[in-house]
Structure 1
Amino acid sequence: MENEKKNVFSGIQPTGIPTLGNYLGAMRNWPLLQEEYHCIYSVVDLHSLTVRQEPANLRRQTLSLVALLLACGINPEKSLLFIQSHVPAHAELAWLLNCYTQFGELSRMTQFKDKSAKHPDNINAGLFCYPVLMAADILLYQADLVPVGADQKQHMELARDVAGRFNGIYGDVFRIPEPYIPKDGARVMSLQEPAKKMSKSDENPNAYILLLDDADTILRKFRRAVTDSEAEVVCREGKDGINNLISIYSIVTGKTVPEVEHEFAGKGYGDFKTAVGEAVAEALRPVRETYADLLKNKDYLADVYTKGAEKARAIAGRTYAKACKKLGLVLPQRP
């Protein structure tokens, strides 16, 4: 039955164009999830404020991301899509949860340590409490499942711990979420340093593919991809570069690894890298074209995120009010 579907929450920051890794690891699966689950997708702009943003860029990137998520196949008739700052309960519940999160728990977050090292001149309280806001994002919508990458698993565990602690004191307020990690494509590696994850923050632009890169750029980057001194397209230990390319090609074409190895048996790396680039460019072409059309229709985008926020406020408001009532806060009286 329809009401038995589980809830899925996922958020993505508007801090630049997502990479091929973001797409194959998570975003590509989001339209598929909406057929099986009640999906809530949020452009989490409040999270981006932990690092200094240029206001005009943040506004542009937020609208761009709404368009890109729609271009990737999210259907606002089936899923909830909204901008985080349009739903005040996210920040409000985060404050309540801050009071039930231990300082030691937050100080152990590896991502806080990493980002503090990268931005030593701006180690702010928001960065420290970032995982609590993430917990609020998830718990407001009584999420059963949360698609997360390996770098967010620690934050996910904190959300579960805080929810369990709150429930243990006040009763059943929050659903305890489970991580959802797709079987394939969960980790796409750098094209230049295939031992590390693909990231748009990489100083070498040849290391990553952006979702909106044109076909020529994609081909050029794949042709420059680091491989090894052999010339055999096979997946085995010690061939990180080729293993990564085989994985990418397998995901975008739907072919198994043995099928890929058979297809390129006796062929050189040049032919293989070109084929991977062409396959990726073709896979991303519909996304680029749909995105370009959507970005021209600002009224439609505004309609989507406005209606999405209205629905999100209604759902989030119920959870927030329940938490407030349990805590003994006096709820405002409706006229």
Structure 2
Amino acid sequence: RRELLKHHFFTRRIIFGHRDFDKWLEALGKGEKVIVLTGFMPSGTPHLGTAMVFEELKYFQSIGAYVKIVIADAEAYAVRREDRDLTIRFGLEFIKHALAWGLNPEKAEFYFQTAMSEAYYRLIQMFSRKITMAEMEAIYGDLSPAKVVSALTQVADILHPELEEFGGFKHVLVPVGVDQDPHLRLARDVADRFEGELGLTRPSSTYHKLLRGLDGNKMSKSRPDFAIFLDESEEAIRKKIAMALTGGRATAEEQRKLGGEPWKCMVFELYTYFLLNDKELNELREECVKGRILCGECKRIAIEKLVERIREHRKRYMEINENLAIDRIVKKPSF
């Protein structure tokens, strides 16, 4: 199993926790049917925080897992009250960006929540029988009809691959941020309650650190000044990185004397997630903490590396956008 965990997301503790991941890995090693399921909210353009999940999915494909990705258009429309046409359009863009980042379409499946078959919606209705309002309120706080339906739909997203109609994957892994753990706990409880009736088993999960925005808070589409988007212009990348929060000292003299604090630095976080191998990262950390590199130079290096990474991604995206028959990849909602 350790051989399967050599990706730098594991060795650098970006993926830092799990529920039953060991059981999922054991099933993978035995050649049993395993699947990785995750979802995206189609409410804007993907950013580097999204790409971090794309990178996870690529890794799971590389070790033999099939990947299924839900476009959460029902939740976007009902709970977040996003425009319906824009939601579908953004969903298609997410799929193109995922493929451009390197996901193998032969080992992946994409779907919209509102364009599934009958059995998926039957699960939502059946699950409602064995979940109490007290449970829902404990997880989601104040409830509305839209939130209730959305929560039940999320559980169906997580558990439906176990049905024979959807492949009979009895070992489901869901990679999420730790803030999503309540949804996983609910899905595991529901699986227990339907073990006898539907043969469901508890899903596994891994937990990753969320990539922070350039100001040190969560990277989010709703805070565009502090996020790097996958369609970002090179000029915008340069300006945003130049303004990013660092772990530098108040003056250059002080930094040369005391060294920097890379654990506080958003630029070093980009290096950690995307831009450097282990040897390069360790060398840069050493240079920083000993005051041998200043923030300006460090930012210039990061800018060039990130600009090149986004340039390559944009090139692949344009090729996919021009050549991909998207209807062969995903069924679009009819309205």
Same fold (TM over 0.5): yes
For the residues of structure 1 that align with 2:327 and 2:124, how far apart are their CA atoms?
Answer: 26
SS at match of 2:126: helix
Displacement of 1:250: 2.5
Q: Unpaired segments of 5 or more residues in structure 1?
A: 117-122, 310-335
Number of residues of Structure 1 aligned to a counterpart in Structure 2? 283
Q: Specify the alignment match of 2:108 in structure 1.
A: 79
Q: CA 1:278/1:91 → structure 2, altered by over 3 Å: closer, same or farther?
A: farther
Displacement of 1:152: 0.8
Give CA deviations for 1:106-125 in whole Å, capped at 9, x if unaligned.
Answer: 1122xx44xx7xxxxxx731
Contact 2:74–2:150 (Cα < 8 Å) also in 1: no
Displacement of 1:15: 1.2
SS at match of 2:230: coil
Q: How does 1:205-220 map to 2 (within 5 A)?
A: 205-220=224-239
Matched, 1:201 2:222: yes
For the residues of structure 1 that align with 2:76 and 2:183, how far apart are their CA atoms?
Answer: 16
Q: How does 1:41-56 map to 2 (within 5 A)?
A: 41-49=69-77, 50-56=79-85
Q: Specify the alignment match of 1:104 in structure 2.
A: 134
Counterpart residue identity of residue 326, structure 2: L
Displacement of 1:172: 5.9
Work out which of the residue numbers 74, 79, 86 in structure 2 matches 1:57: 86
Displacement of 1:5: 4.5
Q: Specify the alignment match of 1:250 in structure 2.
A: 272
Counterpart residue identity of residue 307, structure 2: A
For the residues of structure 2 that align with 1:47 and 1:3, how far apart are their CA atoms?
Answer: 34
Give CA deviations for 1:217-267 in whole Å, capped at 9, x if unaligned.
Answer: 11210101123544546446xx62x1x321221332223543222355522
Q: CA 1:154/1:23 → structure 2, altered by over 3 Å: closer, same or farther?
A: same
Matched, 1:31 2:58: yes
Counterpart residue identity of residue 198, structure 1: M
Give CA deviations for 1:51-93 in whole Å, capped at 9, x if unaligned.
Answer: 2122331232122122112112222212222333221333331
Contact 1:294–1:301 (Cα < 8 Å) also in 2: no
Once superposed, what is the RMSD of the aligned Cα atoms?
A: 2.5
Counterpart residue identity of residue 289, structure 1: K
Q: Specify the alignment match of 2:153 in structure 1.
A: 133
Q: CA 1:22/1:145 → structure 2, altered by over 3 Å: closer, same or farther?
A: same
SS at match of 1:141: helix
Q: CA 1:234/1:43 → structure 2, altered by over 3 Å: closer, same or farther?
A: same
TM-score, L = length of structure 1: 0.76
State percent identity of aligned pairs: 25
Displacement of 1:7: 1.6
TM-score, L = length of structure 2: 0.76
Q: Specify the alignment match of 1:260 in structure 2.
A: 284
Q: Unpaired segments of 5 or more residues in structure 2?
A: 1-28, 163-170
For the residues of structure 1 that align with 2:80 and 2:225, how far apart are their CA atoms?
Answer: 25
For the residues of structure 2 that align with 1:5 and 1:235, how far apart are their CA atoms?
Answer: 45
For the residues of structure 1 that align with 2:124 and 2:198, how far apart are their CA atoms?
Answer: 18
Q: Specify the alignment match of 1:124 in structure 2.
A: 144
Q: CA 1:90/1:275 → structure 2, altered by over 3 Å: closer, same or farther?
A: farther
Q: Specify the alignment match of 1:181 in structure 2.
A: 207
